[in-house]
Amino acid sequence: MLLLTLLLPLLLVEGVLAEEPGLDVPLPQGYSSLGQASAAISAQDLLAQIRSGEPLDYDNLTISGQLDLRQLDGPVKQSIRITNSRFLGPVRIEAVIFAEALDLRGCIFQEDVSFIKSRFQGDAKFSGARFIKLADFADTSFVGLSSFIGTRFLNDTSFGNAQFNGDATFMDCIFAKDVDFDNANFLRSGSFRNANFENVRFFETQFAGQATFLAARFQGNATFAATRFESDVVFRDARFFMGSTFGLSSFSGLADFGNVDFRKTAFFGGVKFADLAYFVSARFDGNLILEGARLYSMQLDNVVFSENSKINLNSTDFTKFVVHWGTIRDRMVFNGAAYLALVKNYKSLEWFDEADECYYQYRKIGQDQASWGWAKLSDIISWLSCGYGVRVSYTAFWCLFTILIFGVIFWAGKGMDKFEIEGMELPGDHRLKPSKRVSFTDALYFSIAMFTTSQAPVNTYPVGVYRHLAMAEGILGWFFLGLFVVVLSAVLIR
C-alpha cells in the first residue's frame, strides 16, 4: 500500500506528459535540455541531423562550435527552421544549395558568418537576426523570398554579386558598419524602408523591380554609382547625413526624392532620368551637382538650399526643369550654355519673367568677367540702355531722363528764344519781339519736341551752342524711341 501511494503521483505526471503534444518527440543525440529558456546542441550533432535528411524545426537553441556545411556531399533537401537561437561559433555555409526553405529568424550569430556562393531555392528568412561579426552573402542566389526585416548587421557585411530572384525585404534593417551590394541584381522588388545604414555602396547594382528606400537613414557615405533602376524608386523622407553619390546611375521610372534631406554634397553627375525626377520639398545643405546629367523632367518645387549651397548644371541636358529662378538665382555655377538652356526652359514653361531674369544675370556675369574692349563696352551700353533687351523700364527711364535733363539745360542756360506778338504768332514778321528768357514749362515742351520729332516748335528756336545740343537730343530721341519700341514689342509679342 505504501509503494502504491508513492508511485501514484509519478503515474499521473507521466500520463499528463504523454497527452501534451510535441513532448513525446525524442531529443537528438547530444541535445541537452536547459529548461524552457534554452537548449544546447553541438554544431557537429546539428550537422548530423541535416545529413539525415529529416526536416529540422527547433526554437531557442544554443549551438556551440563551428557549423561547417561545406562538408556536405550534396544539396540540403529538407526544410530547416531554427529560430530565436544562438550560434556561438563561426558559421561556414559556402556553396551550399538549399532545396527547401531556410528559416533562421531571430537567431544571433556571435562569430563570422559566410554564405558565399550558396543558393536558396526556397524562401530565406533572416528577419530579426543579429550578426555580431562579419556577414558575407557574396555571390549568393536567392530564388524565392529573402526576408531580412529588422535584421541587425553589427559589423562589415557584403551582398556583392548577390542574385535576388524573388522579393527582397530589408525593412527596418540596421547596418552598423560598411555594407556593399556591388553588382547585386534585384529581379523583383527590393525594399529598404526605414533601414539604417552607416557606409553603404551600391556599385553597378541593378534593380529590375521597384526599389524602396522610404525614410531610410544614411549615416555615412552612400554610393549608388552606375546603379540601374529599371522601375520606380522611392527615397522619399530619406536622410543623407554624409556625401551621397549617384554618378552615372540611370532611372527608367519615377525617381521620388520628395522631402529628402541632403546634409552634404548630392552628386548626380552623369545621371540619366528617363522619367520624372521628383525632388519637391527636398533640402540641400551642400551642393547639388548635375553636371553632364540627362533630365527628362526634374521637379524642384519648394526645395531649400543652405546659404552656401551651389547648383551645377554644366553640360546638363534637360527637357523640363521645374524650379523657380528665385530659388537658384544666387547658387548657379556660371556656365553660359547652362544659363541659355534655363532661359529656353523657362520660356517653354511660359515663365517669361523668370526667363528674363535668368538671361539678365547671364549677360551681367559675362560682362563682369570679360576683359576690357569694344565687346565689353557694347555690353555696358546694352546693359544701361535696355537691360540687355529684357528691361523695358531701363529704356523708359532714359527717355524721361533725357527729356528732363535737356529741358533743364535749355532753361537754366537760356539756350532758347521765343518769338511773341500780341494776340498772334507770326514767324518771320518784323514786328516779332524776342523774349530774354522762356519759362521752364516752355523749355520742357521744347525738349519733348526735339526728342520725339527732332523739330522745334514754330515759335521757339535754340541759340548759340545750344543748337548743337538740340540736334544731339534729336539723335538720342530717335535711338531711345526705336530701342523702346523694339524691347516693348519683344515683351508684348511673347
CATH number for the domain including 486? 1.10.287
Task: Quote the DSSP letter at residue 71.
Answer: G
pLDDT reported for residue 6:
35
CA dist., res. 24 & res. 442, Å (int):
122
pLDDT reported for residue 428:
52
Q: Give the residues across from 212 on adjacent strands.
A: 191, 234
CA dist., res. 245 & res. 226, Å (int):
10
pLDDT reported for residue 446:
87
pLDDT reported for residue 2:
34
Distances (CA, A) of 312 to 202, 307, 318, 330, 485: 24, 15, 13, 12, 37
pLDDT reported for residue 347:
93
User: Looking at the domain assignment, is residue 254 inside a domain?
Assistant: no
Q: What pTM was estimated for this model as a whole?
A: 0.80
Q: How many domains does the chain have?
A: 1
Q: What is the CB neighbour count within 10 angstroms for residue 122? A: 19
pLDDT reported for residue 437:
64
* Burial class of residue 229, CB neighbours in 10 A (0-12, 13-18, 19+): buried
Q: Do 83 and 107 meet the contact criterion of CB atoms below 8 Å apart? A: yes
pLDDT reported for residue 436:
54
Task: Mark residue 454 as left, alpha or beta (left: phi above 0; alpha: psi -120 to 50; beta: remaining).
Answer: left
Q: Select from 339, 226, 216, 321 the least CA-distant residue to 278.
A: 321
User: Looking at the domain assignment, is residue 75 inside a domain?
Assistant: no
Pairing assessment for the beta strands 179-180 and 124-125 based on DSSP bridges: unpaired
Q: Give the residues across from 114 on adjacent strands.
A: 92, 136
CA dist., res. 317 & res. 341, Å (int):
8
Q: Select from 240, 242, 200 the least CA-distant residue to 223.
A: 200
- For 146-185, b/e burial (b = at least 16 CB within 10 A) is bbbbbbbbbbbbbbbbbbbbbbbbbbbbbbbbbbbbbbbb
Q: Do 439 and 483 meet the contact criterion of CB atoms below 8 Å apart? A: no
User: Looking at the domain assignment, is residue 347 inside a domain?
Assistant: no
Q: Do 362 and 336 meet the contact criterion of CB atoms below 8 Å apart? A: yes
Task: Quote the DSSP letter at residue 329.
Answer: T
Could you state, in chain order, the average pLDDT of each consecutive group of 10 residues for the chain (494 residues)? 37 36 38 54 93 93 94 90 97 96 98 97 97 98 97 98 98 98 97 98 97 98 97 98 96 97 97 97 96 95 94 94 94 92 94 94 91 89 89 92 92 75 49 61 88 78 84 90 87 74
User: Looking at the domain assignment, is residue 428 inside a domain?
Assistant: yes
Main-chain phi, psi angles of 334, to 5 degrees: -65, 125
CA dist., res. 123 & res. 277, Å (int):
34
For 484, the domain range is 392-493
Q: Do 48 and 68 meet the contact criterion of CB atoms below 8 Å apart? A: no
Distances (CA, A) of 79 to 98, 137, 377: 8, 20, 83
User: Looking at the domain assignment, is residue 410 inside a domain?
Assistant: yes
Strand order in the sheet with 113-114: 67-68, 91-92, 113-114, 135-136, 157-158, 179-180, 200-201, 222-223, 244-245, 266-267, 288-289, 311-312
User: Looking at the domain assignment, is residue 489 inside a domain?
Assistant: yes
User: Looking at the domain assignment, is residue 407 inside a domain?
Assistant: yes
Cell (9 digits) for 442: 516752355
Side-chain-side CA neighbours of residue 174 (13 Å): 10
Q: Do 143 and 166 meet the contact criterion of CB atoms below 8 Å apart? A: yes
User: Looking at the domain assignment, is residue 485 inside a domain?
Assistant: yes
